[in-house]
A and B are shown apart, each in its own frame.
Chain A
Amino acid sequence: MPESFQLIISLLDSTIRIATPLIFCAMAGIFSERSGIIDIGLEGKMLLSAFVAATATFLTGSPILGLFAAILASCGASFIHGFACITNRGDQVISGLAINILASGLTITLGIALFSRGGQTPPLASEQRFMPIEFPFLDEMSYVPVLGDLFVEVISGHNILVYLSVLAVFFTYYVIFKTRFGLRLRAVGEKPEAVDTAGISVIKLRYQSILIAGMLCGLAGAYLSIAHGAGFGREMSAGKGYIALAAMIFGKWNPIPTLFACLLFGFLEALGVRLEGVELMWIGEVPVQVMQALPYVLTVVLLAGFIGKARAPGAIGVPYSKEG
């Protein structure tokens, strides 16, 4: 295999690993924002559930239980968000930011209190994590040129959550565009009055949507600490929630384009890691911060002119009130 091909293969492989939490979070964002609730708290929910996943797994020894605990914790945060801005009609951005700040402080405080490791959780053994799954026929496939390598190196050999994230995209697409629930969810995000006067509860519908968002964020968090990583580290979400948000806007609140946006951002990050300390022709060594900033810069630039206007759901950010 030529070296450049090898490089591309390994770049694609890390793209997928990096994109997985973005995909979960972006789908969570779609559910929430399509129903009219801004979800800037993706980051906090992911961080919180990463911590809970690692802690619960360490304490019980079971990653499955850890995963459920993570989902529960993330849904709890979603519920707080909902109570603040659906029930009490608070400001959705403020509430989301509060969740982010809460998660950032709480995970460190609890981590130190429980494990006295400076905010980290103890490392998990491999049987306590979701480990890579090897596909059958790997040996046979490895003889097939190009496609075989893609199959062996890129498609196969990820943990179950990676595959689940792809399923999550199709799940999101199907639910939002093909079911009654999805029709109502989109309606409530565009024009809640229409839903209310059709005899459907706006509040119930929005709670349902953000709880689904909570579940998906829980999966993202669990991926970070008990699948991709082997334990929780302080601030391990590192802005992925915001990148996911950018990907969602980039993908115009549509699951399939959003998936590609997540993959693109994942690829840029993988590229950034790869280019660290590498001398490039004409340019020289690119500071790592430039690569890290790329997804944001790209979002702004592309949204500003190249992909046309991204139209947010009509009623996003506006608390619903019947009496004016």
Chain B
Amino acid sequence: MKNIENKEGSETIESLPSSTKLAIELKNITKRFGHVVANSDVNLKVSTGTIHGIVGENGAGKSTLMNILFGLYKPDSGMIFLNGQAVDVNSPEKSIALGIGMVHQHFMLVPTFTVLENAMLGNEGSMFLQSGEEFALDRLRGLSENYGLDVDFEAIISETPVGMQQRVEILKALNRGAKILILDEPTGVLTPQETIGLFDILRSLREQGVTIVLITHKLKEIMSITDTVSVMRGGKVVANFSTEKTSPEELAENMVGRKVLLSIKKPTLKVGNPVLEVKNVSHESKDGVNVLKDISFDLRQGEILGIAGVAGNGQSELLDILSGIETLQRGQITVNDKTILPYQDWNSKKAREFGVAHVPEDRHKRGLVLPFYNYENSILGYHRNEEYSSGFLMDKRKIFNFVDDLVENFDVRPRSSSISSSKLSGGNQQKLVLAREIESNPKILLVGQPTRGVDIGAIERIYEDLMKLKSKGTAILLVSVELDEIMSLSDRIIVMNQGSIVGETNSSDATELDLGKMMSGLEKV
């Protein structure tokens, strides 16, 4: 680690030309939540008119640090300097007045309000809305044109696409006179095209002198848009780089604290017979929306089929139907030569009996009972198996034997069977769920968002486990919004948009741009 510590502050930041002014300087910031130290003695320097990236795994303290800068959290100790002046940012009101704007990871927009109402909130311009709206609209239109922030001011936020919601957030910040803009994981919800659009906006903001801090865990984005970058790990800034002098590998190594393999070795395997056949499946949600339209595909033995798409285009519903959570309404599913017809008896218990295992998209809601102990969670759904119960009572000794092996073999940390699963990190929770499903020796594994909120170290392990399962001949259906993940894991990729399959391709032929176009529904292949 020593060589990395040495880099801090010395190599890049200090070597910036002396004429460069610092927009932000944080000195020795420390913040604790209870016993957890979220930021420990953090130092950070950002020059005016640059785009500075902050990378780090989940829980590295990136968001906490930015929330401190924005005045949402109070630091326990440390100093903040803006443009060379020591300032006391103790509330968002203060930070806004000092010219800081923040676009949060979860948008801070009122879903029932119009775009205009959201953008003007806090800077209404008048006691009365009518005159305030005219005033605000005038100014917002100007900002919107100036920076290419295309929005529909009349639209209700909950009915607008996330890309527009994000532009509203940026407008909102600029409307308050932001000269420093913090963006927390801004591309998580965007298609590749929308991301390109966002980066264009950021570049035009930089040209006009706005300082931008970009928090992300996507190294590619850091490389493509930032001028300088800081890496955080365990609440500390462990390295600073000038972007052009670093590489994704070096950043990843600093994020994790050891060398990581970013590429995956795919076992070459001859795919076998179809084990899952989905024919003309359509589905209507409770609100009467057609969430799935005539979906058909095959999944073969030893194959990983990736389903790409922006979140909310029917992938979740498809998983729900295949895993037996939702009733099949129209179409037909064949699982291991057994056919399921609409409104037939099909539920998650049956699915397991048929050899379908499921790693749900939302592990907190469906994968685990959070307050349960690891030993309880790791047999969830398989608790009826004779292995774990002697008739009426659970056989704790057998369960413990099983779970002790499980946490060992799948590297769930801490290696304890009797710790509450809520105490595990996101990555370890995910490993536990995956371990449980893999141990059931499924014929088909349905996986939703396997690495959402999971740190790089655990991602590496999860990918390994999936590949191992594939080489055993299990068919895997992978749903993910992370395009990189889909492209590097899958053999074949289908793309969903608004409930339909809009394209299919072999992953060797797929390019991110093509998939992105299909995802946004622009192009049918």
Once the chains bind, are A190 and B112 in contact (CB under 8 Å)? Answer: yes
Q: Are A322 and B110 in contact (CB under 8 A)?
A: no
CA distance A322 to B67 in the complex (A): 10
Residues of B within 8 A of A (CB): 33, 70, 72-73, 91-97, 102, 104, 106, 108-113, 117-118, 121-124, 126-130, 132, 172, 176
Q: Cβ of A179 and Cβ of B129 under 8 Å apart?
A: yes
* CB-CB nearest in chain B for A196: B92
Shortest distance from the beta carbon of B139 to any chain A beta carbon, whole Å: 16
CB distance from B292 to the nearest CB of A (A): 24
Closest to A200 in B: B122
For residue A313, which residue of chain B has the nearest CB?
A: B112
Contact between chains at A314 and B132 (CB < 8 Å)? no
A321 to chain B, nearest CB (A): 11
Q: Which of chain A's residues have a CB closer than 8 A to the CB of B96?
A: 198-199
- The 8 A CB mask of A187-218 against B (1 = contact, 0 = none) is 10011011111111100000000000000000
- Against B, the Cβ 8 Å flags (1 = close, 0 = not) of A253-276 are 000000000000000000000000
> Shortest CB–CB separation between residue B105 and chain A, in angstroms?
12
A195 touches B121 (CB 8 A): yes
A29 at interface by CB-CB < 8 Å: no
Known: A184-B121, A197-B72. A190 touches B130 (CB 8 A): no
Knowing A194-B118, A199-B91, A200-B93 are in contact, say whether A180-B108 is a contact too (CB < 8 A). Answer: no
| Interface contact B92-A191, CB-CB below 8 Å | no
Q: Which residues of A are found within 8 Å of B118, using beta-carbon distances?
A: 194
Question: Which of chain B's residues have a CB closer than 8 A to the CB of A177?
Answer: 129
Residues of B within 8 A of A186 (CB): 110, 112-113
Q: Which residue of B has the minimal Cβ distance to A174?
A: B128
Alpha-carbon gap, A323 to B94, bound state (A): 18
Query: CA–CA, A2 to B223, complex, Å?
Result: 87
- Given known contacts A194-B109, A197-B72, is B117 in contact with A183 (CB within 8 Å)? yes
Q: CB distance B112 to A194 under 8 Å?
A: no
What are 19 pairs between A and B in contact, CB < 8 Å?
Answer: A178-B128, A178-B130, A180-B127, A183-B121, A184-B121, A191-B109, A191-B110, A194-B108, A197-B72, A197-B92, A197-B102, A197-B104, A198-B92, A198-B96, A198-B122, A199-B91, A199-B95, A314-B111, A323-B33
CB B455 to nearest CB in A, in angstroms, measures 19
A contact residues around B130 at 8 Å (CB): 178
Determine whether A182 belongs to the interface, using a CB cutoff of 8 Å to chain B. yes
Cα distance, A180 to B131, chains bound together (Å): 10
> Which residues of A are interface residues toward B (Cβ below 8 A)?
177-184, 186-187, 190-191, 193-201, 314, 322-324
Nearest-neighbor residue (CB-CB) of B133 within chain A? A183
Give 7 closest A-B pairs by Cβ, nearest first. Answer: A198-B122, A199-B93, A199-B96, A194-B108, A197-B108, A180-B124, A199-B92
Most buried by B among A179, A198, A201: A198
Interface contact A178-B129, CB-CB below 8 Å = yes
B121 with A322: CB separation less than 8 A: no
Interface centre among A178, A186, A187 (most CB of B within 10 A): A187
Indicate if the CB atoms of A322 and B72 lie closer than 8 Å: yes
Q: How far is the CA of A183 from the CA of B112 in the complex (A)?
A: 11
Say whether, besides A178-B128, A179-B129, A199-B97, A194 and B121 are in contact (CB < 8 Å). Answer: yes
Closest chain-A Cβ to B347's Cβ sits at a distance in Å of 28
- Give Cα A196–Cα B91 distance, bound, in whole angstroms: 9
CB of B93 within 8 A of CB of A183, answer no
State whether B176 touches A322 (Cβ < 8 A): no
Q: Are A180 and B126 closer than 8 Å at their CB atoms?
A: yes
Contact of B110 among A179, A190, A200 (CB under 8 A): A190
> What is the bound-complex CA distance between A43 and B428, given in angstroms?
50
Is A198 touching B73 in the complex (CB atoms < 8 A)?
Answer: no
- Chain B residues with CB under 8 A of A181: 127
Chain B residues, Cβ within 8 Å of A179? 127-129
Chain B residue nearest in CB terms to A194: B108
Question: Which B residues lie within 8 Å of A184 (CB)?
Answer: 121-122
CA distance A203 to B259 in the complex (A): 48
Query: Taking CB as reference atom, which chain B residue is nearest A182?
Result: B129
Extra 8 A-B pairs, beta carbons < 8 Å, given A186-B113, A197-B70, A314-B111:
A183-B117, A184-B122, A190-B111, A193-B106, A193-B108, A196-B92, A197-B102, A314-B112
Q: For the complex formed, measure the closest distance between the CB of B51 and the CB atoms of chain A, giving whole angstroms.
A: 22
B94 contact set on A, CB distance < 8 A: 199
**Contact partners of B123 in chain A: CB under 8 A:** 198
